[in-house]
A and B are shown apart, each in its own frame.
Chain A
Amino acid sequence: MIGSSATEPITVGLFVTCLVDLMRPTVGFATVKLLRDAGCKVSVPKAQTCCGQPAYNSGDNPDTRAIAEKVIEAFEGFDYVVAPSGSCAGMIKHHYPSLFANDPEMRPRAVALAGRTFELVSFLADVLKVENLEAAYDGIATYHDSCSSLREMGVKEQPRALLAQVKGMTLTEAPESETCCGFGGLFCVKYPDISGRMVDAKVDDIIATSADTLLSGDLGCLMNIAGRLHRRGSNIRVRHIAEVLAGMTNRPPLGEPVEKEKPRKEAG
């Protein structure tokens, strides 16, 4: 492995993503735990904010570059950079290098960072080869393949293989697990009616599985789907996959209040 001898632990810089930082810190803590349990030395640079995707997907490349430079600077010293999101990891891995295509100083640094950046679940499965997770979860879960995880980061079997190690959990597949949920960052607020139709189709597909829990590796999709599930009166529990893999499910599911929490007793 890059930069690590047999005795020295792998160093990982955690890019926690702005959504996890702001909305769901438990995912960050779960990520730290999973990486530490697997023997990594984890650091969380304080200088991190956002990967720049909102600007990038709005065509604002100068601002994206300014943000990306900060990210590159903050994460240069680690063997690996890991994000609990296919979308933000994909941004660093695939789009940073092309952003700096004409910048001889930044381009090699962007390419080097891209080569060391991973989405959490695939990092656990493919690089750390995690087996025998300690976690348990009482429920029937279905997994939503986020578009960036699936198509940019090649994440498909890894979450299933890891979830198979979680005691007490049954995994059931939704036929349309690979179809976009309609989040799309700013898309969902710019074109709410199209996005609404898409998330409704996603919610129909999830409800039809009879699962009581929805998991995924990207918080943006999860907030979108949870929001629509709740609006439609469903009580399917929504969590980031890292929470379940790390056994950190004491906090209520996404969008549920603390008081209501009687863990693992809610019906699907």
Chain B
Amino acid sequence: MESTTAAFRENTAKALGDAKLRDALSKLTDGFPASRREAIARLPEFDALRDAARDIKDHVLANLDFYLESFEARVVEAGGTVHWCRTAAEARTAILRTCKTAGAKTVTKGKSMIGEEIAINEHLEEHGIEPVETDLGEYIIQLRHEPPSHIIAPAIHLSKEQVADTFRDKHRHLSPGRSLDEPRALLDEARGELRRKFIGADVGLTGANMLIAETGSIVLVTNEGNADLTYSIPRVHIVIASLEKIVPTLEDATTILRVLARSATGQEMSVYTTFCTGPKRQDDLDGPDEFHVVLLDNGRTGMLGGEFHEMLRCIRCGACLNHCPVYKAIGGHAYGWVYSGPMGAVLIPGLIGLEEAGHLPNASTLCGKCEDVCPMRIPLPRMLRTWRRRQFERRQTSYPSRAGLRAWSLIARRPWLYRLGADIVVAVLAALGRARGRFRWLPLAGGWTQLRDLPAPEEGGTFISRYHLGEHGDGA
């Protein structure tokens, strides 16, 4: 997918002016956090589970080669194939080759952020294969040719009226007089459309929430059951997953499942949780004849042991988005690429370049809420600061910012100079602001006074000067 991340300011302005988006976002950011809170209140050991989940991933990351190889061995034993892919391009090639070998015309898809990351839909379309998204949200945005605006709720930016309009526009073969007022009607219509696609597909392409090293299984977590129809009906199942999705054992997978849905939607478990291991065995009633796992690196191994190492613990639950006040203000599309929110602001610069994504790590107050709710205890604010540091080191920080910082730090290191300047500036501002106690406008303070008044400094001078003159404050 083409990124629009460099146009972050324009994206933001557009998002902030969109009243429908505002409604949709406040529903999301009120709803999910409240459910999460309730779910956690019912599970006193939640924090201990977070620690356990973090430890599992830390252990895996320290022994990644071992677990990946044993995963591959189990997949092969079960009759499947693993395709190791270093880059997005290699993964696209592996998937296309497998589809072509299967003679595929239609590929049904479960929701996969890695699929978005490597832009597999566009690639398949270019080669004459029709990809069909089967997750309701993904289906809707595919019809609209939009990227997802949330990693677990891709169409969250849309109202049901907008979805109804899209369906009317794209489902021309259905009666124009039909009612699409109720969410149920929308759901039934999508279901009807997708049912035919499920049956007719040649290949099913899903992501994986986890890969299990001891069994070679993949774990699929959905609320719609669409991934199950995607993998079990077509003759060929392709799984696309990044390599940090690995966990050692079934037991470990269940530990992570216990924090995943609770963090994401506040559910105890998602509605469907499926473990798939290899192709159909002799006595199985259904399942694919071929089982392929496309294992993608795309920069992950480069993160190992570095300043973004902990980001590889991410289980894509979306809690950091749901709780982020910046995400709540601007939504996912403003980030301009497939990921969004705090995890996106950390991941995107690594994937598309800091030059292109330079705004993202800066557009944060570093309020710390994301780290607070992250089930994997990923220090997201620290990583945002790391990107800022790298920008500064590479001189990608804007010249006025650099010059301003330089000046401030020169003064801040020289208390006598600071005192002198402070006393003058405070005296002037206090005198100017005396009548109203605040400013509606000040030169060079446009960023502040555009939406806020600026309180004037207290009269009488700076604290340090007054204190050392023997004052005790409060007019005393």
**What's the nearest-Cβ distance from chain A to residue B454, in Å?**
6
Confirm or deny: B437 has a beta carbon within 8 angstroms of a beta carbon on chain A.
yes
Complex Cα spacing A254 to B472, Å: 19
Confirm or deny: A167 has a beta carbon within 8 angstroms of a beta carbon on chain B.
no
Asked if A44 and B467 make an inter-chain contact with CB atoms under 8 angstroms apart, the answer reads yes
Confirm or deny: B418 has a beta carbon within 8 angstroms of a beta carbon on chain A.
yes
Question: Quick one: which of B411-457 are within 8 Å of A by CB?
Answer: 411-413, 415, 418-419, 422, 425-426, 434-438, 440, 445, 447-448, 450-457
Asked if A192 and B364 make an inter-chain contact with CB atoms under 8 angstroms apart, the answer reads no
State which of B367, B371, B397, B401 has its C-beta within 8 Å of the C-beta of A180.
B367
- Count the A-B residue pairs with Cβ separation under 8 angstroms: how many? 237
Specify which chain B residues have a CB less than 8 angstroms from the CB of A24 in the assembled complex: 457-458
Asked if A29 and B473 make an inter-chain contact with CB atoms under 8 angstroms apart, the answer reads yes
Confirm or deny: B4 has a beta carbon within 8 angstroms of a beta carbon on chain A.
no
**What's the nearest-Cβ distance from chain B to residue A229, in Å?**
9
Asked if B466 and A25 make an inter-chain contact with CB atoms under 8 angstroms apart, the answer reads yes
Specify which chain A residues have a CB less than 8 angstroms from the CB of B402 in the assembled complex: 60
**What's the nearest-Cβ distance from chain A to residue B403, in Å?**
11
Chain A 29-47 per-residue mask, 1 if CB under 8 angstroms from chain B, else 0: 1101100000000001011
Asked if A257 and B435 make an inter-chain contact with CB atoms under 8 angstroms apart, the answer reads yes
Specify which chain A residues have a CB less than 8 angstroms from the CB of B413 in the assembled complex: 49, 66-67, 70
State which of A148, A192, A251 has its C-beta within 8 Å of the C-beta of B450.
A192
Binds B, one of A103-111, A118-126, A129-137, A183-191: A183-191
Asked if B434 and A257 make an inter-chain contact with CB atoms under 8 angstroms apart, the answer reads yes
Asked if A258 and B459 make an inter-chain contact with CB atoms under 8 angstroms apart, the answer reads yes
Total interface residues on B, using CB and 8 Å?
74
**What's the nearest-Cβ distance from chain A to residue B367, in Å?**
4
Complex Cα spacing A52 to B411, Å: 11
State which of A52, A179, A226, A250 has its C-beta within 8 Å of the C-beta of B412.
A52
Asked if A60 and B392 make an inter-chain contact with CB atoms under 8 angstroms apart, the answer reads yes
Given contacts A189-B447, A223-B454, A255-B438, contact A28 B397 (CB under 8 A): no
Confirm or deny: B274 has a beta carbon within 8 angstroms of a beta carbon on chain A.
no
Chain A 136-161 per-residue mask, 1 if CB under 8 angstroms from chain B, else 0: 00000000000110011000000000
State which of B366, B372, B455 has its C-beta within 8 Å of the C-beta of A23.
B455
Further contacts, 19 of them, CB under 8 A, given A187-B366, A257-B437, A258-B437: A22-B457, A23-B457, A32-B473, A46-B468, A49-B418, A52-B409, A58-B388, A59-B391, A59-B397, A60-B392, A186-B401, A192-B450, A194-B16, A194-B326, A195-B365, A196-B450, A198-B329, A230-B438, A259-B435
Confirm or deny: B272 has a beta carbon within 8 angstroms of a beta carbon on chain A.
no
**What's the nearest-Cβ distance from chain B to residue A207, in Å?**
15
Specify which chain B residues have a CB less than 8 angstroms from the CB of A58 in the assembled complex: 388, 392, 397, 401, 405
Complex Cα spacing A224 to B452, Å: 7
Complex Cα spacing A63 to B194, Å: 58
Q: Which 9 A-B pairs have the closest CB atoms?
A: A29-B473, A184-B365, A227-B452, A189-B447, A59-B388, A59-B392, A257-B437, A255-B455, A25-B463
Question: B residues touching A (Cβ–Cβ < 8 Å)?
Answer: 12-13, 16, 325-326, 328-330, 362-369, 371-372, 385, 387-393, 397, 401-402, 405-406, 408-409, 411-413, 415, 418-419, 422, 425-426, 434-438, 440, 445, 447-448, 450-464, 466-468, 471-475
23 residue pairs from A and B, CB less than 8 Å apart? A18-B412, A21-B422, A21-B462, A22-B422, A23-B426, A28-B463, A29-B467, A32-B473, A44-B464, A48-B464, A58-B405, A59-B385, A59-B388, A147-B366, A151-B367, A187-B365, A189-B448, A193-B12, A199-B451, A227-B451, A256-B437, A256-B438, A257-B436
Specify which chain B residues have a CB less than 8 angstroms from the CB of A185 in the assembled complex: 365
**What's the nearest-Cβ distance from chain B to residue A197, in Å?**
4
Complex Cα spacing A228 to B440, Å: 11
Confirm or deny: A16 has a beta carbon within 8 angstroms of a beta carbon on chain B.
yes
Specify which chain A residues have a CB less than 8 angstroms from the CB of B409 in the assembled complex: 52, 55, 60, 63-64, 66-67
Asked if B392 and A227 make an inter-chain contact with CB atoms under 8 angstroms apart, the answer reads no
Asked if B455 and A63 make an inter-chain contact with CB atoms under 8 angstroms apart, the answer reads no
Total interface residues on A, using CB and 8 Å?
80
Closest chain A residue to B386, Cβ basis? A59
Specify which chain B residues have a CB less than 8 angstroms from the CB of A194 in the assembled complex: 12, 16, 326, 329-330, 363
Given contacts A23-B455, A29-B473, A33-B472, contact A197 B329 (CB under 8 A): yes
Question: Quick one: which of A195-254 are within 8 Å of B by CB?
Answer: 195-199, 201, 223-224, 226-228, 230-231, 248-252, 254
Closest chain A residue to B22, Cβ basis? A197
Asked if A29 and B412 make an inter-chain contact with CB atoms under 8 angstroms apart, the answer reads no
Specify which chain B residues have a CB less than 8 angstroms from the CB of A33 in the assembled complex: 472-473
Asked if A25 and B452 make an inter-chain contact with CB atoms under 8 angstroms apart, the answer reads no
**What's the nearest-Cβ distance from chain A to residue B400, in Å?**
11
Given contacts A22-B425, A192-B451, A193-B12, contact A16 B393 (CB under 8 A): no
**What's the nearest-Cβ distance from chain B to residue A99, in Å?**
11
